[in-house]
Structure 1
Amino acid sequence: MRPRWPLHDRAVPVVAWRVVILLGALLAEGWNIVNMVRSGEPPTEHFAYFTVQANILVIVLMLWMLGTREEHRPRWFDHVRGAITAYIVLAGIVYAVLLAKPDEVWSWTVDFTNAAQHRFVPWMVGLDWLLVPTARRIRVSRAAWWMAYPVAYLVAAWLRGGLVDGWFPYPFLDPGEHGGWAGLVGPTGQVLLAFLIGIMLVAVIGRLRYRATDSAGPSPSLASSPSSTSSRPYSNSSA
C-alpha cells in the first residue's frame, strides 16, 4: 500500500492554508460591506455580483471543512467542494479577461478587496483542490450539475434587469451594451462555455488527483465504517 499523501484533510499545513483562505475571504467581504455602507451602494446590487456570492460560498465551504471531519460529511460533499472551487476560480478568470481594465490585470495597485476576491482567494482555493484529494472519486458526468448555479444566476440577473429595475451586474449581461437582447448571445454564450469547460476541467482534475493519491483504497477508518459517511449527512471592488 502506498503511503498516505501528506496533504490530507487534517494535515497541519492544509488546516493552516484553509484558515488563511477563510480569514482573507472574511476580511475582504467585511471590508466590502463597510465600503457599501459608506458609499450608499444598495445591498441588492452589492450582493448580486457573482464574485461576491462565490466568495461567500468559499467562506461557508472553509467553515464546513474546518469544522467537520471528512468522515462526517455527506457523500455529495466533494461535488459541493468542486463546484465552489470552479465558481471562484472562474470568477477570477472572467474578471481578468472581460471586466478588469487593461492596467488592472497585472497591477498590484488595486484595492485590497479587489485583489483578495479576484486573485488571492480564487487561486488559493484552486490550489487547495489541486493539492488536497477528495474523499471519494468525482464522477465527471455528474459535474454537469455544477452548471445549475451559473445558469440560475444568469436567468435571475436577466429577469431582474429586464423586468424589475433595469440594473445588470455585468456588461456582458446588459442588452443595452450589445444592441438588444439578441446581441447577448455571443458574449453570454462565451462566458457560459468558459464555465462549462472550466467546470469539467476542475472535475477531471479532482478525479485524477484522487486516483493518483488514494489508488490503494480508502483509509482503514473509512473502510471499516462505511455507514458513518453515508448516513450523515465591474470596475468597482465588488464586481
Structure 2
Amino acid sequence: MAVLAEAWNIKNMLASGERASEHFAYFTVQANLLVIVVMAWMLLVPPARRPAWFDHLRGAATAYIVLTGLVYAVLLAKPEEVWSWSIEFTNAAQHRVIPWLVALDWLLVPTARRIRFGRGAWWMLYPLAYLGCSWLRGGLIDGWYPYPFLDPGVHGGWAGLVWPTGQVLLAFLLGIFLVAGVGRLRYRESGASAREPSPSATG
C-alpha cells in the first residue's frame, strides 16, 4: 500500500506541476519512503542476516510514521477530516492506514535485539535535522516551508514558533520513547543475538 500511495502521489505531482523538491521535502513522504525500505528489507532479508542496527532503523521508521499520523490529525487536518474517510486515497493511506499497519507490525513482530532507551534517543536526530533543514531552506533559500507550524510568517515571527514546534518535538520525544519501550518489551532473542557473547562472558 505504501508503494501504491507514493506512486499515486508522484503521478499527481507530475500532473499538477508540483516541484519535486517540495514534494519530497514533506516529512510524511520521507517517512513513508523509509517504511517502504524497511518493509522490503524485512521481506527480502532473513532475520539472521540483518545488521545489528536494523531493529533501530525499524523502530525509528515506526515512530516517524505513527507520529506523522498523529501530528496530521492534531495539527494539520481540517476538523471535518479527522474522523472522516471521505478523503483522498493517498491522504488516508499515508496518514492513517499505513501508520496503523506499521504500529501493528511493531507490536506483533518482536525485535531480534533488545532496544536500549539510550540508543533509541538517537532516533530524534532525524526529526531535529529535518527541522533545521526546513528552517534553513525557508529562511535562506526559497521561503518555502513544508508545514504551517514551521513557518514564522504564520506565527508572527520566529519567536512565535516556540510553542507549535515545541509541541511537535515533545510529541516526537515521547512517541519515540514509547515505541522504544514497546520494542524492548516485545524483544525476542534470535539465534544471531544469542550467539553474541555477553560483556561478563568476555571478561
TM-score range, shorter chain: over 0.9
After TM superposition, the structure 1 = structure 2 runs for residues 88-237 of structure 1, keeping only pairs within 5 Å, are 88-210=65-187, 214=188, 218-219=189-190, 221-222=191-192, 226=196
In structure 2, relative to structure 1, the CA distance for the partners of 1:138 and 1:223 (3 Å cut) is closer
Alignment match, 1:17: none
* CA positional deviation for 1:222: 3.3
> Matched residue pairs, number?
197
Contact 2:28/2:65 (8 A) holds in 1? yes
CA contact (8 A) 2:24 2:30 kept: yes
Unaligned runs of 5+ in 1: 1-23, 228-239
**Per-residue Cα deviation, 1:80-138 (whole angstroms, up to 9, x for no partner):** 11000000000000000000000111111101000000001111000100111000110
Give the Cα separation in 2 of the matches to 1:206 and 1:194: 18
Other-structure match for 1:52: 29
Give the distance between the partners of 2:153 and 2:67, measured in 1 at CA: 25
Aligned counterpart, 2:11: 34
Equivalences for 1:80-91 in 2 at 5 Å?
Answer: 80-91=57-68
On the 8 A contact 2:113/2:193 being kept in 1, the answer is no
Structure ranking higher on relative contact order (CA contacts 8 Å, 6+ apart): 1
Taking the aligned partners of 2:81 and 2:25, their CA distance within structure 1 comes to: 22
Letter in 2 for 1:222: A
CA distance in 1, matches of 2:194, 2:28: 41
In the alignment, which of 34, 39, 49 is matched to residue 62 of structure 1?
39
- Are the aligned partners of 2:107 and 2:183 in contact in 1 as well (CA < 8 Å)? yes
Give the Cα–Cα distance (whole angstroms) in 2 for the partners of residues 81 and 87 of structure 1: 10
> Is the alpha carbon distance of 1:103 and 1:222 closer, same or farther for their aligned partners in structure 2, counting shifts above 3 Å?
same
Structure 1: which amino acid aligns with 2:34? L
Q: What secondary structure is seen at the aligned counterpart in 2 of 1:175? A: coil
Q: Would the aligned equivalents of 2:112 and 2:193 in 1 still touch at CA under 8 Å?
A: no
Secondary structure of the equivalent of 2:81? coil
Distance in 1 between residues matched to 2:71 and 2:99, nearest whole Å:
11
Tell me the SS of whatever aligns to 2:115: coil
**Cα RMSD between the aligned structures?**
1.3
Per-residue CA deviations over 1:150-196 (Å, capped at 9, x if unaligned) read: 00000000000000000000000000000000100110011000000
Q: Distance in 1 between matches of 2:166 and 2:195?
A: 45
Work out the CA distance in 2 between the residues paired with 1:157 and 1:147: 16
For residue 107 of structure 1, give the secondary structure of its aligned residue in structure 2. coil
